[in-house]
């Protein structure tokens, strides 16, 4: 009986890990969806987020799935990041700065447009 419970717990943990890393897994199996290397090299993407934000997680997964390099700052844990976020106008999370184009909320289309 204990073995059955352990198997269920391990299955749930596996599902959680796969869900959290879906963007990286998807990129392995579908490399054609990756942003061209030239765009990646010139892009400067900064993500202001929090650990608890669901849309922030979706934004991370999207950036990872497209192979877009980015720097992330947790505005709950980093006072300097919070100041930078507020200086840019803040107004909600996720907040993405793509080469100076400010994108509020989870918006993959706007991120891709700003990368071009």
The pLDDT assigned to 30 comes to 57
pLDDT of residue 91: 86
Q: What pLDDT is stored for residue 47 in this prediction?
A: 96
Handedness of CA 109, 17, 15, 105 (dihedral sign): negative
Supply the pLDDT for residue 5. Answer: 76
Going from N- to C-terminal start, the domains of the chain cover 2-115
Options 2.60.40.10, 3.40.50.970, 3.40.30.10, 3.40.50.1100; CATH for 2-115 is 3.40.30.10
Evaluate if pTM is beyond 0.75.
Answer: no
For the chain, 116 residues long, the average pLDDT of each consecutive 10-residue run is: 74 63 57 47 82 96 94 94 91 93 94 92
């Amino acid at each position: 009986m204990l073995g059955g419970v352990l198997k269920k717990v391990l299955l749930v943990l596996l599902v959680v890990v796969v869900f959290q890393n879906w963007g990286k897994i998807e990129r392995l199996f579908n490399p054609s969806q990756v942003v061209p290397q030239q765009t990646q090299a010139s892009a400067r993407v900064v993500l202001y987020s929090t650990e608890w934000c669901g849309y922030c997680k979706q934004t991370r997964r999207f950036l990872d799935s497209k192979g877009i390099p980015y720097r992330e700052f947790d505005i709950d844990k980093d006072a300097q990041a919070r100041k930078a976020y507020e200086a840019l106008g803040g107004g909600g999370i996720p907040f993405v700065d793509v080469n100076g184009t400010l994108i509020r909320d989870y918006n993959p289309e706007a991120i891709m447009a700003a990368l071009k």
